[in-house]
Structure 1
Amino acid sequence: MVYKDGSNPDHTDCELAILNSATAHAKMGDYGIRTPQQLNDLHETLKVRNVKYHGLPTEIDPNMMVRLGDKDGPLIGTVSLAERSKELPPDMGWGFIEGQMGMGYATEASRELLRFLTMDCGIKEILVWPDPGNIASNRVAQKIGFVPGGDVINLDKGGKLVPVLMLPDMTKLDGTKSISFYGDSGAK
């Protein structure tokens, strides 16, 4: 894995291919992110700023690009941590290009990012909120240790309550806090 570089067209092309794949639209929805600028704006908006780190800068951007094989292998996916809401812990996410899904790469890369975030950075609270119908992503979350964590209001789904998964020692959410793919601004 390598840190995402918003100025690297290969990184941007990979992420845009993931977000705009038929599978992503079917499982997550179409969030209208089509251009490198829209993608970079989204990353800047969702950058983690409120988590306390041990010996690391207080503002980091743990968006990682996943390569197949070694450091020069093809880009196949991304794993990330985002701060979408000031009232909720940051959330982890992952996405892979068509043809690389269902091969265990999401589990492997997400497990490594989670290890880095919890062990190296000391983060104690992380959410995951895959769509309930996205069985594969829910399975990945459970395999790497996330457990049912209550509900949040999904502003992208018209205020519908959706389940979240969280790390085991966290307090369950009661459905009174909201979240949006686009962050607190809710802007597209």
Structure 2
Amino acid sequence: MIAAMAGIDLSGNFLSQEIPKGLTTLVGLRYLNLSGNHLSGYIPEDIGNLVLLESLDLSRNQLRGEIPQGFADLRSISALNLSTNMLSGRIPMGDQLRTLVDQSIYSNNPGLCGFPLEDCKNSPTPTQTETSLDEDKETLWLYCFVAAGFIFGFWLYWGIFLFRGETWRYLFYQYVDNMQGKVTKKVYSCISRFQVKGPE
């Protein structure tokens, strides 16, 4: 007899905790309204069992996490409201869900994306981020050493022509060594700052 129940309306009460998983066993359910309560936790993964469900209102609760992929199995759904929760992630796609184009269905869930809301942005995975960071470090090392080598080579090349006497040549080479030491310190300082702050 319970399985033949057509609708449940428990809206505007003080219901709390998670949505009872037993609700998804009521396969004959056509209307379910749990809006305006204090429900938390996740939407049951097997909500797609309610294949005859035509109207579902879970708005104005504290539900979190992603909308289960089982929503794509709700082939009879024509009225849906998941607004004003803490849902996130990509909205599941299904033939019937594509007919629900009203964005207010998902409003006040800042973490949601996908049809009919804005497209989801592909964020880099941790591995991709780490790889990019390593590549940036290698590039920075290369630039620093190229600059240091250019400066050192420039002064060394011109010093041979400008300073031909032994004393002048000795002083020049000493100057170049000092300059190389300063450049090296600059390179290490540059690398240290980069490793602490990371790439912008």
Task: Considering fraction of residues, name the structure with more strand.
Answer: 1
Is the structural similarity TM-score above 0.5?
no
Higher relative CO (CA 8 A, sep ≥ 6), structure 1 or 2? 1
Short-chain TM bin: under 0.3
**TM (normalized to structure 1)?**
0.24
**TM (normalized to structure 2)?**
0.23
Task: Considering fraction of residues, name the structure with more helix.
Answer: 2
